[in-house]
Amino acid sequence: MFSNFDFDVIARSWPYLFKEGMSFTLMLTGLATGAGIVLGTILALMRLSKFVVLQKFAATYVNIIRSLPLVLVIFWFYFLLPYIGQWVLGSERPMAVGAFMSALVTFSLFEAAYFSEIMRAGIQAVPRGQFAAAQALGMRYHQVMGYIVLPQAFRAMTPLLLTQSIILFQDTSLVYVLSLTDFLGAASKVAQRDGRLVEMYIFAALVYFVISFGASMLVKRLQAKIAVR
């Protein structure tokens, strides 16, 4: 079955696959995770705030995003961002948004909805008495959140946040629909150029599996460590 396999194609395209493809994938994953957690935390704080308008806004945003397929959202932002850029800058023509920028904004805003659900659970898990005690000590809202509540929420939710970022890592393969050169994009371009679909897609699956499985094992370990204390 493997007799007419050409494993050499992988060796030949190694620099392209990893230096261009994988670094794009990892960069997108890293930046979108960072931005997604920041935005998600802000959304969670809005949802738990006492202002009804903020609550409603955050809830609507999260529910709509979570009801839509990522592919559709990728297309939405790809076409919408140039117009938003034009509106913000007040320029005459729609702004040219780079493909990486477009993908980064999309994934940050999309994953923020999922991260916000995790952070909301984390914040709610901090006993209410701590909030009250901090206020009794004369702390302001940002102090209570910044020094007391959020550090605990982050710590408790770290495994879930990391698991979500592994999902994000896998989801970045969907930039394929914009013909970007992420890891899968690079693999598929080589596959089509050299007519080696079988080798390249099996190899891509293997690489994704090793990284995701390895990362999830690490998260499991971390979880066990946190649980003991």
Q: Do 164 and 111 form a contact (C-beta atoms < 8 A)? A: yes
Minimum distance from residue 206 beta carbon to other proteins (Å): 9
- Residue 17 touching other proteins (CB under 8 A): no
Smaller CB distance to other proteins: residue 68 or 137? 68
Q: How far apart are CA 37 and CA 30, in angstroms?
A: 11
Directed axis angle between helix 150-171 and helix 23-47, to 10°? 140
Smaller CB distance to other proteins: residue 16 or 75? 75
Site for other proteins in 80-109 (CB under 8 A): 80, 83, 86-87, 94
CA-CA-CA-CA dihedral for 171, 152, 65, 204, to nearest 10: 0
Q: Do 99 and 107 form a contact (C-beta atoms < 8 A)? A: no
CA distances from 186 to 9, 10, 66, 138 (A): 13, 11, 29, 56
Q: Which of 57, 76, 100, 141 contacts other proteins by CB under 8 A?
A: 76
Sole window of 13-21, 61-69, 101-109, 142-150 interacting with other proteins (rule: CB under 8 A): 61-69
Q: Which of 24, 61, 107, 114 contacts other proteins by CB under 8 A?
A: 114
Instruction: Please tell me the count of residues contacting other proteins according to CB under 8 A.
Output: 44
Q: Which of 7, 14, 147, 209 contacts other proteins by CB under 8 A?
A: 209
Q: Do 113 and 41 form a contact (C-beta atoms < 8 A)? A: no
Place of tokens 């080798």: 199
Q: How far apart are CA 197 and CA 156, in angstroms?
A: 43
Q: Which of 26, 48, 70, 126 contacts other proteins by CB under 8 A?
A: 70
Q: How far apart are CA 49 and CA 55, in angstroms?
A: 7
- Residue 7 touching other proteins (CB under 8 A): no
- Residue 112 touching other proteins (CB under 8 A): no
Site residues (CB under 8 A) for other proteins?
1, 64, 66-72, 75-76, 79-80, 83, 86-87, 94, 114, 117-118, 121, 160, 163-164, 167, 170-171, 173-174, 176-177, 184, 188, 197-198, 201-202, 204-205, 208-209, 212-213, 216
